Amino acid sequence: MARLAPIDETAAGPAAPGADWLTGWRNGPADGPDASPDWLGAARADAAGRFAGRGLPDRRVEDWRYTNLAHLTGLELDWAPAPADVAKESLPALVFGREAECRLVLVNGQVRPALSTLPALPEGTLLTSLADALASGHPGVADLLKQRAAMDGGALKALNDSWLEDGYVLIVPDGVTVDMPIEILSVGTGGALPPAYQPRNLIVAGAGSRVTVVEHHVGLCIGGYFANLVTDVAAGPEAIVRHCKVQDESREAVHIALLDAALDSGAMFDSFCFTLGGRISRNELRVSLDAPGAHCRLNGAYLAGGRQHCDHTTSVDHVAPETHSDQLYKGVLDGRARAVFQGKVTVRPDAQKVEGHQMSRALLLSETAEVNTKPELFIHADDVQCSHGATAGDLDGEALFYLRSRGVPEGQARQLLVEAFLNEAIDAVALAGMRLPLERNVARWMAERPAS
């Protein structure tokens, strides 16, 4: 089984992928005739040119200063993996701990209807694959993709744009409430060569609509693969979009994700990201609060051990006045694990009466663990309430002593303190059914970590 090469954390890395890597990439998703509309072919070609000119971001790119992808250039990847043979019985249970009412399954970035559970949704609601939406010429999907593909979101987004082949599409009409949570189960599998896939996802919430999406990313192999996904969210006036993501990829996987959300007046985007898998993972959120009353809440919790590298990067742009954002990320690191939190809040000159707050806290359970934090505020207005902060340290010695003095064994005492530390972030999950499974994952991770 192919495994990812050791990570050289000090190397700057080449400015562009090597020739062999680009040859394997092939500048797009399809050999031979392409039945895609002309605009899509042109968008792919334009993005391929942008990526070829830039290459993978290295540590000279400020946003990638703490995350090194240089080792990917020496890894031969399967850019067009054949559909993997996955049995429905082998899929993990829903993270709620009960059978899924609505589940769309992707394997190596391709939607698999036969593995999915798709009940009837409220009238006008569309949940389908990007491939089917493009084949049917859905106007809303085409218009949004044209707009988003033309936006410069960095080299990894350009790589994703150069494929624009499959992923999921969720469209909720004006005034519609989708009561059941929609689970998106993304499965990564290995092969003779580590597969690389680029799913593109769209969530469009009409005015006054309500929807909850739970993304569950898992690996069904012990080897590596490269997942580079982009999700575009458009929330109309007074819409509420709740997005919960559980990233539990294979320990040798590289998981790179960009979520780009644009919020209209009174819209709310509530995001929670729980990360415990992957050799290298990066979850990047960019939220634009485009009209008064727009509000976002970005929360996350992460667990990393061994030589895992976990990156959370956020950017919130207060374009309009009377907008509000809150961010809280908490993580626990052990072994030689590394974590990154980069949080940027921008307030535009005319965006008065804005609130923007962010906080990052990390627990380091070993002397070799490391966290890099870079909170930033760019304030161009004067009537605002903005704050940022970051802390990192060991477990509270007094609390640990107190528990041990009451007869609690040291290992159990440490587990209780870690669980209490992360619960502040986990309790913020809007979907109550998610909290207990997440807390169980924390307990399992603590039980499986090597003894100090």
Does the structure show a pLDDT above 50 at 223?
yes
pLDDT per position as a tens digit, 387-440: 999 999 998 888 888 888 888 888 888 888 988 899 888 887 867 778 888 888
**Is 322 a member of any domain?**
no
pLDDT per position as a tens digit, 72-97: 877 788 888 878 888 777 777 655 55
**Is 113 a member of any domain?**
yes
Does the structure show a pLDDT above 60 at 5?
no
Q: At what angle do helices 410-426 and 397-405 cross, to 10 degrees?
A: 130
**Is 201 a member of any domain?**
yes
Cα–Cα dist 341/346, whole Å:
16
SS (H, E, C) 290-333: CCCCCEEEEEEEEEECCCCEEEEEEEEEECCCCCEEEEEEEEEE
pLDDT per position as a tens digit, 110-165: 999 999 999 999 999 999 999 999 988 888 888 888 888 878 889 999 999 998 88
Does the structure show a pLDDT above 70 at 3?
no
Does the structure show a pLDDT above 70 at 210?
yes
> Which pLDDT value is given to residue 192?
82
**Is 240 a member of any domain?**
yes
Domain that holds residue 84: 19-291
Task: Give the pTM.
Answer: 0.91
Residues 101/46, Cβ–Cβ less than 8 Å = no
**Is 347 a member of any domain?**
no
How many domains would you assign to the chain? 1
Indicate the average pLDDT of the chain.
Answer: 87
**Is 167 a member of any domain?**
yes
**Is 413 a member of any domain?**
no
pLDDT per position as a tens digit, 336-390: 999 999 999 999 999 999 999 999 999 999 999 999 999 999 999 999 999 999 9
H/E segment holding residue 403: helix 397-405
> Which pLDDT value is given to residue 1?
32
**Is 423 a member of any domain?**
no
Cα–Cα dist 225/3, whole Å:
9
Q: pLDDT class for 4, splitting at 50, 70, 90?
A: very low
Who wins on pLDDT, 450 or 110?
A: 110
